[in-house]
Amino acid sequence: MIVHKLHEAGITSEHAYAAAFGSVSLSFLSWIVSMKAERAGVARADRWGIFVGEWAPTFFGLGLALAQYEKAAEEAGDHRSAWFDRRTGAEAS
């Protein structure tokens, strides 16, 4: 259902993958900035990097789910997913 709503909002698997790679990049950048700007040391920089980087697996997972959704819709010949039956709100088997 969440994947269906994201798809309806115009979010594609490419968007989710880009967000995942952006999260990895931002994690590395935040680690570097924290190391240079703060005097708290490596432990604090590590926490910043981990905090930002925790979103990457979620975005990659959403990207995979959206890609599967897009493939099912393409195979069905329309822009709706074969997973989701709009009338009943249930996932198709």
In this model, does residue 24 exceed pLDDT 80? yes
Residue 86 domain flag: no
> What domain count does the chain have?
1
Q: Is residue 92 part of a domain?
A: no
Q: pLDDT value at position 9?
A: 92
Q: Which amino acid is at 62?
A: L
In order of 17, 33, 48, 66, 74, the CA distances from 29 in angstroms are 18, 6, 10, 28, 38
What are 37-88's pLDDT values in tens digits? 777 777 777 887 888 888 999 999 999 999 999 998 888 875 554 445 444 4
Tokens of 83: 């997973």
Tell me which residue range forms the domain holding 73.
2-81
42 located within any domain = yes
91: in domain: no
The answer as to whether 88 is a domain residue is no
**Is residue 32 situated within a structural domain?**
yes
